[in-house]
Amino acid sequence: MKKILIIFGVILTITSCRYSFEIEKIGLETELCVRSMVCADSTVNILLHKAVPITDIEKMDTSIISPILTLKCNGEEVETVMYIADNGGRKFTADAFTAGDKLEIVASAEGVETIMASTIVPDEFPPYEIDTIEILSYGYEDEFNTVIHYQDNPDTQDYYGVSVELLMKLT
């Protein structure tokens, strides 16, 4: 019986499924993409770049030409400072806003459709604790399993984002 289980296990490990398919181009176009995490009382960073369809991956050019970003807070235009981003896009920064401010963004660039977005600046993130529950080492690579504990107010509709910054210590 034991030999049968071992043979069956070996057969399962050497067999595999293969399914080939083609990704078809169905009206996919390059689009402008805006990324930002807005927090109360913190400088705002807005990243603007092109999202290229997977079918055009061989021509992957995320750089943008003649970008324009208009940022309004409670209906009043806000000054932004523009920098060139690593991916050929642009990074815009603005001074901090307060909780409850309504932000509106209009972004455009040559060759892509103009986009608009709006949000309300959320309150500060609730008090939290961070626990690293496990560190696994694989030679030069370490894997960290981390848990963030916080108490959210169930009467509000909030969206939280996490930004992880890895600092390497060379020895």
- Which of the pair, 44 or 162, is modelled with greater confidence? 44
Q: What's the angle, vertex CA 114, arms to CA 111 and CA 115, rounded to 5?
A: 135
Dig out the tokens for 126 from the structure: 């609730």
- For 117-138, the pLDDT digits (tens) are 888 888 777 777 877 666 666 6
- pTM for the whole structure: 0.62
| Predicted pLDDT of residue 85 | 84
What are the angstrom distances between the C-alpha of 110 and each of 27, 31, 103?
Answer: 19, 11, 24
**pLDDT confidence of residue 169:** 57
Calpha distance 119→22 (Å, rounded) = 38
Is it the case that residue 8 has pLDDT exceeding 60?
A: no
> How do residues 47-102 score in pLDDT, each as one tens digit?
888 887 766 666 666 678 889 999 999 999 999 999 988 777 899 999 989 988 99
